[in-house]
Structure 1
Amino acid sequence: MELRHVRYFVALAEELNFTRAAARLGIGQPPLSQQIRDLETEIGYPLFLRRPHGAELTEAGRAFLGEARLILEQAERAKEAARRAGGGHVGALRVGFTSSANFHPAVTEAFSVFHWKYPDASLIVEESHSARLAERLLHSELDAAFVRPGNVTPEGLDLLPLGEEPLILALPVGHRLAAQARVPVAALRGEPFVIFSQGIGRTFLGLIREACAQEGFEPTVGQETPHIVAMINMVAAGLGVAMAPGSIAQLAVRGVVYRPLDGAVPKVPLAIATRAGDTSPLVRNFLSLIPPPVVED
Structure 2
Amino acid sequence: MELRHLRYFIAVAELRSVRAASEHLHVTQPAISRQIQDLEEAIGATLFERTPRGLKLTPAGIAYLSEARDILARVDAANRLAHRIASGVQGRLRVGFVENASWSGLVSSALSAFQHSASDVALELQPMNTPEQLDAIAAERLDGGFCYRFGALPDGFASVPLLEQTVVLAVPEQCALGKNGAVSASELSGLPFIAFPRHVYAAYYDRLISACAERGLTLDIRQEASTETAILSLVAAGVGAALINAANRERPPARVRFVDIDDLSVRLPLEFCYLAQHGNATLQRFIDLLTAHGNVKP
Q: What TM bracket, shorter-length normalisation?
A: 0.7 to 0.9
Cα distance in 2 for partners of 1:200, 1:273 equals 16
**Residue 40 (structure 1) aligned with residue 40 (structure 2):** yes
- After superposition, the Cα gap between the structure-2 partners of 1:79 and 1:177, relative to the gap in structure 1 and judged at 3 Å, is same
Amino acid at match of 1:41: E
Cα distance in 2 for partners of 1:289, 1:228 equals 29
Amino acid at match of 1:222: R
The superposition leaves residues 67-117 of structure 1 with CA deviations (integer Å, 9 ceiling, x where unpaired) of 221111111111112112222333332222234434353332333333333
Cα distance in 1 for partners of 2:55, 2:180 equals 93
Length, aligned pairs only: 293
CA contact (8 A) 1:152 1:201 kept: no
**Structure 1: gaps (5+ residues):** none
Structure 2 equivalent of residue 179 of structure 1? 179
Cα distance in 2 for partners of 1:199, 1:268 equals 16
Structure 2 equivalent of residue 80 of structure 1? 80
Cα distance in 2 for partners of 1:127, 1:184 equals 33
The superposition leaves residues 202-231 of structure 1 with CA deviations (integer Å, 9 ceiling, x where unpaired) of 21x334334433433323223222201111
- After superposition, the Cα gap between the structure-2 partners of 1:215 and 1:198, relative to the gap in structure 1 and judged at 3 Å, is same
Secondary structure of 2:234 counterpart: helix
Cα distance in 2 for partners of 1:166, 1:256 equals 18
**Structure 2: gaps (5+ residues):** none
Displacement of 1:239:
1.8
CA RMSD of aligned residues (A): 2.5
Correspondence 1:263-282 to 2 at 5 A: 263-282=263-282
Structure 1 equivalent of residue 155 of structure 2? 155
Correspondence 1:46-195 to 2 at 5 A: 46-50=46-50, 54-103=54-103, 105-195=105-195
- After superposition, the Cα gap between the structure-2 partners of 1:201 and 1:224, relative to the gap in structure 1 and judged at 3 Å, is closer
39-48 vs 27-36, greater mean Cα deviation: 39-48
Displacement of 1:124:
2.4
- After superposition, the Cα gap between the structure-2 partners of 1:176 and 1:63, relative to the gap in structure 1 and judged at 3 Å, is same
Structure 2 equivalent of residue 224 of structure 1? 224
- After superposition, the Cα gap between the structure-2 partners of 1:148 and 1:199, relative to the gap in structure 1 and judged at 3 Å, is farther
Q: Sequence identity of aligned pairs in percent?
A: 32
- After superposition, the Cα gap between the structure-2 partners of 1:180 and 1:267, relative to the gap in structure 1 and judged at 3 Å, is farther
Structure 2 equivalent of residue 292 of structure 1? 293
Structure 1 equivalent of residue 31 of structure 2? 31
CA contact (8 A) 2:188 2:217 kept: no
Cα distance in 2 for partners of 1:55, 1:28 equals 17
Amino acid at match of 1:202: A
Correspondence 1:209-220 to 2 at 5 A: 209-220=209-220
Correspondence 1:229-244 to 2 at 5 A: 229-244=229-244
- After superposition, the Cα gap between the structure-2 partners of 1:183 and 1:104, relative to the gap in structure 1 and judged at 3 Å, is farther
Correspondence 1:17-28 to 2 at 5 A: 17-28=17-28
